[in-house]
Amino acid sequence: MNSFEAELRAVPEQRYHHLHPFNLRMHAGELSREELRGWILNRFHYQRNIPVKDAHILAKFDTPALRRMWLRRIQDHDGAAPGEGGIERWLRLGEAAGLDRDELLSGEGVLPGVRLAVDGYVNLCRNGTLLEAVAASLTELFAPDIMRTRIAAFEKHYPWIDAEGLRYFQIRVHQGSQDSGEALALVLDWARGRGDQERAVAALRFKCEVLWALLDAVDGAYR
Ligand SMILES: O=C(O)c1cc(C(=O)O)c2c(n1)C(=O)C(=O)c1cc(C(=O)O)[nH]c1-2
């Protein structure tokens, strides 16, 4: 591992949302049903915007091979047909937790801080460079671990959520590993100069702040 890769990996180590008090309480089994439902409802706003930000990134690629690779991410979330894909699985997670699918789809109840955080991420991918947009996705280097922790915590502490609801996370463990591996290879290849490396690290820091701000909003609203 070169020093730039080590620098990239150190960002989420210190700032990723696995350290956020809301996630610590989630994993310790301390969240009320209302808090967990509030998190699922607000995270749906993040989920449904992931393919939107990925479409902005897709439009910046200029080779079929790279577009093909990134298109898979959009399909992972949107599915190949109605009733499939990650967004559908997140809706089922909501239903397993007692939320109404139409309520999730309406977007009502999404907190202002969550909207701003998600807008921040989508706008970085729309207006930033390709390097910044891809580097920002590298929080996913840490996502499979937090998802494994979350699955175990849900099974242990929140048995009132039907196990079927956990499918989103179970499938995402593999998808997140593949996504982050591909994105890391691109960033290491593109960012050879110190200026680019610093911009990649800054984008990854910003993305950690997006996830942190999202949880700050949820933590403050439902406690
Ligand atoms: O539950 C999580 O902790 C978590 C974190 C992240 C992340 O690190 O951004 C993503 C996801 N989940 C996720 O489900 C997902 O689809 C996803 C896509 C991306 C991205 O930036 O492209 N991050 C994440």
Q: How far apart are CA 71 and CA 79, in angstroms?
A: 11
* pLDDT per residue as tens digits for the range 129-176: 999 999 999 999 999 999 999 999 999 999 999 999 999 999 999 999
- Residue closest by Cα to atom 20 of ligand 1: 137
Atom of ligand 1 nearest to the CA of 121: 21
* pLDDT per residue as tens digits for the range 167-193: 999 999 999 999 999 999 999 999 999
**Pocket of ligand 1 contains residue 200 by CB under 6 Å:** no
Tokens 């050879």, located at residue? 192
Range of the domain at 42: 3-222
- Residue closest by Cα to atom 3 of ligand 1: 143
- Residue 7 contacts residue 70 (beta carbons within 8 Å): no
Whether the pLDDT of residue 1 is over 90: the answer is: no
Q: How far apart are CA 63 and CA 81, in angstroms?
A: 26
- Residue closest by Cα to atom 12 of ligand 1: 143
* pLDDT, averaged across the chain: 96
- Residue 78 contacts residue 47 (beta carbons within 8 Å): no
User: pLDDT value at position 223?
Assistant: 78
The radius of gyration of the chain from alpha carbons, rounded to an integer in Å, stands at 17
Distance 88 CA to ligand 1 centre (A): 15
| CATH number for position 93 | 1.20.910.10
* pLDDT per residue as tens digits for the range 29-73: 999 999 999 999 999 999 999 999 999 999 999 999 999 999 999
* Amino acid found at 42: N
**Pocket of ligand 1 contains residue 146 by CB under 6 Å:** yes
Distance 133 CA to ligand 1 centre (A): 14
Whether the pLDDT of residue 13 is over 90: the answer is: no
Q: How far apart are CA 194 and CA 6, in angstroms?
A: 14
71: DSSP letter: H
pTM value is 0.96
Listed in order, strand segments (DSSP E) in the chain are: none
Distance 125 CA to ligand 1 centre (A): 14
DSSP code per residue over 83-108: T-SHHHHHHHHHHHTT--HHHHHHTT
**Pocket of ligand 1 contains residue 89 by CB under 6 Å:** no
**Pocket of ligand 1 contains residue 20 by CB under 6 Å:** no
Distance 167 CA to ligand 1 centre (A): 15
The share of the chain scoring above pLDDT 90, in percent, equals: 97
User: pLDDT value at position 62?
Assistant: 95
**Pocket of ligand 1 contains residue 180 by CB under 6 Å:** no
Number of domains into which the chain is organized? 1
Distance 2 CA to ligand 1 centre (A): 25
Q: How far apart are CA 134 and CA 1, in angstroms?
A: 19
The share of the chain scoring above pLDDT 70, in percent, equals: 100
Distance 140 CA to ligand 1 centre (A): 6
Whether the pLDDT of residue 99 is over 90: the answer is: yes
